């Protein structure tokens, strides 16, 4: 395939003569870009094979240019990037009961996100932190970018996670926690604590590990807590709490529906076993936090849509066993203490 200057040469030869104006144009074109050996050879061929078509001045100018022009060597290809040396960071302590049978390993073939961030990615592990992973799922549902923007992959096997906490002035300030990609595994080789439903997706385990590192270990975060605090840590925004006991059901429904419309993260805790609320046969568990997905009115019947952070086990029998279900508003108001709604 001819070069651009080769096309210009062909046009100049159409009338079987090469004028001084055409030669100057060819020289200008050659000077406007790095002079390659191919371009110089094309001009040299033009001069030697078509000398009879040049005037004296045109011949002199082109010969002078070719005698003084230096070929520009192409730049050397960039050196391949040097792989970063994996960096190890001390891991947070595991639950006391797991100290003798937990190993730390990276997930083979793992990637931070698989098909983005989804509320249904989150699966709770063998640790009592439903309040935390329920909040992870709630934020992923309402604002997946808040999760994606919170975790930075450093390229050396580590991740820096940004949380928020209140400063002494009351304003929210970012807190960065860096952890490596080793995640806790049981003696059977399965993920010990929080994980994604897709086994190669890492964000749930990395986020949970960073939170544990920040708060002082898995024992600290693994014995209950407040989902509103986790939502605030991820979004930098406070939450409001609507109590089922002190709020009528319709107002509760309206608040949930408005929260879903405005894409606010929402969670709902159940009562404790000593509360007098009977959970037998309900498919709902005491002392547990669920993610609230929304509220709908179907044929005059109001429902609250929920997700169990276990990623399974829900009331009803839709055959999916994915933890996602809807519950009549009156039942929700009886079985759940209330709703945390992000601002």
pLDDT tens-digit series, residues 62-97: 788 877 877 777 677 887 776 667 788 999 999 999
User: In the prediction, which pLDDT does 243 show?
Assistant: 96
The boundaries of the domain holding residue 200 are 96-235
| Residue 77 falls inside a structural domain | no
User: In the prediction, which pLDDT does 2 show?
Assistant: 58
131, 154: one domain: yes
| Residue 87 falls inside a structural domain | no
Query: Among 202, 235, 268, which residue terminates a domain?
Result: 235
pLDDT at residue 19 greater than cutoff 70: yes
**In this structure, what is the dihedral angle of CA atoms 209, 211, 212, 216, given to the nearest 10 degrees?**
150
pLDDT over 90, % of the chain? 71
| Residue 268 falls inside a structural domain | yes
What is the band of 30 on the pLDDT scale with cuts at 50, 70, 90? confident
**Summary mean pLDDT of the chain:** 91
191, 280: one domain: no
User: In the prediction, which pLDDT does 22 show?
Assistant: 83
Query: Among 184, 202, 235, which residue terminates a domain?
Result: 235
pLDDT mean over 33-51: 79
- Into how many domains does the chain fold? 3
In whole angstroms, what separates CA 322 from the centre of its chain? 23
309, 270: one domain: yes
What is the band of 25 on the pLDDT scale with cuts at 50, 70, 90? confident
pLDDT over 70, % of the chain? 98
| Residue 86 falls inside a structural domain | no
| Residue 89 falls inside a structural domain | no
User: In the prediction, which pLDDT does 187 show?
Assistant: 87
Indicate the pTM of the whole model: 0.76
| Residue 91 falls inside a structural domain | no
What is the band of 106 on the pLDDT scale with cuts at 50, 70, 90? very high
Query: Among 52, 68, 84, which residue terminates a domain?
Result: 68
146, 210: one domain: yes
Name the token pair of 196. 């994604």
In whole angstroms, what separates CA 35 from the centre of its chain? 46
Max distance between CA atoms of the chain, in angstroms, equals: 110
| Residue 79 falls inside a structural domain | no
Distance CA 175, CA 144 (A): 19
DSSP state of 92: P
100, 206: one domain: yes
pLDDT at residue 107 greater than cutoff 90: yes
């Amino acid at each position: 395939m001819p070069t651009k200057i080769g096309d210009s040469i062909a046009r100049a030869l159409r009338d079987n003569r090469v004028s001084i104006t055409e030669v100057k144009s060819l020289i200008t074109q050659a000077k406007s870009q790095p002079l390659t050996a191919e371009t110089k050879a094309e001009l040299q061929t033009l001069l030697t094979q078509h000398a009879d078509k040049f005037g004296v001045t045109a011949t002199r100018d082109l010969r002078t240019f070719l005698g003084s022009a230096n070929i520009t060597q192409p730049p050397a290809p960039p050196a391949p990037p040097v792989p970063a040396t994996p960096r190890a960071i001390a891991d947070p302590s595991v639950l006391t009961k797991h100290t003798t049978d937990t190993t730390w390993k990276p997930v083979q073939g793992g990637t931070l996100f698989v098909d983005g961030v989804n509320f249904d990615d989150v699966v709770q592990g063998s640790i009592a932190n439903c309040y935390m992973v329920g909040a992870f799922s709630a934020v992923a549902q309402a604002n997946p970018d808040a999760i994606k923007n919170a975790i930075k992959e450093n390229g050396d096997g580590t991740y820096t996670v940004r949380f928020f906490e209140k400063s002494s002035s009351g304003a929210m300030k970012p807190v960065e926690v860096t952890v490596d990609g080793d995640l806790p595994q049981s003696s059977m080789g399965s993920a010990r604590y929080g994980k994604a439903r897709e086994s190669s997706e890492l964000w749930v385990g990395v986020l949970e590990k960073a939170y544990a590192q920040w708060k002082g270990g898995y024992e600290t975060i693994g014995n209950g807590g407040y989902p509103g605090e986790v939502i605030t840590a991820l979004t930098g925004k406070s939450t409001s709490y609507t109590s089922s006991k002190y709020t009528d059901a319709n107002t509760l429904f309206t608040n949930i529906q408005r929260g879903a419309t405005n894409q606010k993260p929402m969670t709902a805790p159940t009562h404790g076993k000593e509360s007098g609320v009977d959970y037998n046969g309900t498919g709902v568990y005491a002392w547990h936090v669920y993610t609230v997905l929304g509220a709908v009115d179907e044929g005059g019947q109001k429902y609250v849509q929920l997700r169990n952070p276990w990623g399974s086990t829900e009331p009803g029998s839709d055959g999916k066993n994915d933890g996602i279900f809807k519950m009549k508003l009156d039942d929700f108001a009886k079985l759940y203490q209330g709703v945390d709604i992000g601002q």
